[in-house]
Structure 1
Amino acid sequence: MRWFVRGDIDGFFALALDNLVQLLLIDGLCRFVLGFSEELVYGRILPGVALSLVVGNLFYAYQARKLAEATGRDDVCALPYGINTVSLFAHVFLVMLPAKLAAQAAGADDATAADLAWKAGLVACLGSGLIEFAGAFVAEKLRKYTPRAALLSTLSGIALGFISLGFLFRTFAHPLVGLSTLAVILLAFFGGVRFKGGLSGGMIALTLGTALAW
């Protein structure tokens, strides 16, 4: 099995850019919505996220390698591991922010309330992880007997409402940057256009967008 193919370049830039946006989102929500200190955000939260991304992607790569060996295929691609945007918003606005407000209402100072909110988020992450672990034993049966449209409808609705619309508005707010990079993505991934020198569409879009923004 080949360890590296041309498509990995596009995959790398797509996953790296997506996780970069998520890290910036975590930074903004933690500091400006939850009021966390920079020491907590940059000393514990973001390093923990970075470590999970490294470990998660390495484990997914290991799983892909084992699947390739078991099936004798040489075209197995590892799943991308990243931050769940929906869970991020849910943990911030449905767990951590209410916990902070409740602590402040009980008379806690801002620092103590922020610390309690962070700990509440950790407990929520552990709880959701246990639920996902338990669901792994029945997921295949659910997938087998449930129509795919029913499985994906909620996910697609959340993706459109919470993820896509914000970036769509930004695209038209800065049309030179947004539409130019969108054109490159459409040409590369849907139009089948091959750029000179074997350059990946994702790298070109990222470079072009950065240059135009500056």
Structure 2
Amino acid sequence: METPKNPTAIRHRIREGLSRIAMVLRADDWNRAKLAGINPTQLSILELLEGRKGGLSVKDVALHLAVSQPTATDSIAALERKGYVEKRPIENDKRGVRVELTIEGLSALQAGGTVEGDAEQATGMLGGQEQEELLLTLVKMIRTLQERNAIPIQRMCASCRYFAPFVHADAAKPHHCNFVDAAFGQRELRIDCRDHETADPTLRAATWNAFVEG
């Protein structure tokens, strides 16, 4: 029996907490998807394709969403029938196609994002410093997962070739984005940046070390 004197491992309890939040996120996704007239998997595909010039292959879509390739294929076909995505052939690959977001798909995605979900509202109840610390914790967890190949490389600042951490003396804006040539703070760290370009492994490791030591 679990008691205050004999608790389960803290990692187990954190996982329990994350699973409860995940349930709310799934409910939020259903609500957003309804507004867009699609299902959550299709909504996730639209979100994934947003800002990706040249689109993604069906295999990459499946990999990023952790679904089977047939599931990705079926969802993409449904979106294509609605005119939300389009397929373009991959050069020098007779059978390969890349999936791209259409203007109609972007409009549907924006319609689904008009309502703030319960998870976001709960996050808003945290203090400013708590929100910043939570964001940093998520960045660290995602980085660990991607370096262990549990998930693909994410479009985070921490994995981007334009990110220069702690190069400014200003404590409020210590980082620099070389893409837009601007300083920014911890609260502005991106989880999914549309201008992201993945750094090579050596630079990515060096950038991460500078970030955590900063």
Q: Which has the higher contact order (CA 8 A, sep 6+)?
A: 1
* TM-score, with length taken from structure 2: 0.25
* TM-score, with length taken from structure 1: 0.25
* Rg larger in structure: 1
Q: Greater helix share, 1 or 2?
A: 1
